[in-house]
């Protein structure tokens, strides 16, 4: 069986090669005004974006794919169990480091 250059063995997650080629990974929960979306992409560094409805509520960056996947998974878990309003509040503060 030929190895897929774009997906990891889980069949869902994208490889570093896929990100370098411009692909983005996304997860969508709910619909309409209750839609919550999380996206992971690469443009030099990795970008993890969270949207509630049509509003971007958080935008994180990561230097490594491991850190980016960890943040993506955290936002995805939050989006799955939250309303759009709660997601907007919690996503913005999820990875903020204390001063």
Would you tell me the crossing angle of helices 65-81 and 84-93 to the nearest 10 degrees?
Answer: 150
Q: Tell me: the pLDDT tens digits for 61-94?
A: 999 999 999 999 999 999 999 999 999 889 888 8
Mean pLDDT across the chain, nearest whole number? Answer: 91
* Joined tokens for residue 28: 């969508």
* Joined tokens for residue 54: 């049509």
Span 41-67, average pLDDT:
94
With a cut of 70, say whether residue 28 has pLDDT above it: yes
Span 16-36, average pLDDT:
94
Q: What is the DSSP letter of 33?
A: G
- Please report the pLDDT score of residue 48 as a whole number: 97
The partner residues of 23 in beta bridges, in order of sequence, read none
Chain-centre distance of CA 43, in angstroms? 14
Where would I find the H helices in the chain?
Answer: 16-20, 65-81, 84-93
Q: Phi and psi (nearest 5°) for 2?
A: -80, 140
pTM recorded for the entire structure: 0.88
């Amino acid at each position: 069986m030929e190895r897929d250059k774009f997906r990891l063995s889980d069949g869902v997650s994208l490889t570093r090669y896929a990100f370098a080629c411009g692909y983005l990974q996304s997860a969508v929960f709910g619909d309409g005004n209750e839609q919550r979306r999380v996206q992971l992409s690469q443009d030099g560094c990795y970008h993890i974006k969270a949207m509630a409805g049509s509003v971007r509520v958080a935008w994180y960056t990561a230097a490594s794919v491991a850190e980016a996947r960890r943040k993506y998974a955290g936002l995805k878990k939050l989006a799955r169990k939250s309303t759009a309003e709660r997601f907007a509040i919690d996503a913005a503060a999820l990875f903020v480091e204390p001063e």
